[in-house]
Amino acid sequence: MCYALMASAVAHGMMLEPDMIVPRCFVHGPDPEDWPDGMKMPETVEAIIENGVSSDILKVGLAKLLPRPIRRMRHIEWTPIKSAP
């Protein structure tokens, strides 16, 4: 779950900080070393923090969903979890 938030933040050139708004959609460039042999590698890959992961993020309180007029453009506001005393 945390990796999904971090991946979107990094793809948008942001550091993951409390109370920041992280887009669910992002674009990244695949790593040639991780790409399967014999398959043409695209320059970029569009990605989204999918509903299952988003739901888990919301359930555990890592973030809250900020609705937007266009469903695909929703964002997640990351909320830090307070550590136990």
Domain ranges of the chain: 2-29+42-78
DSSP-derived pairing of the beta strands 25-28 and 21-23? unpaired
Full-model pTM: 0.66
Residues 6+ apart with CB under 8 A from 59: none
Q: What is the pLDDT of residues 27-81, one digit of tens each?
A: 888 889 988 999 999 999 888 888 888 888 888 888 887 766 555 555 666 555 5
* Cα separation, 55 vs 7, whole angstroms: 17
Which helix (H) or strand (E) segment holds residue 63: the answer is strand 63-66
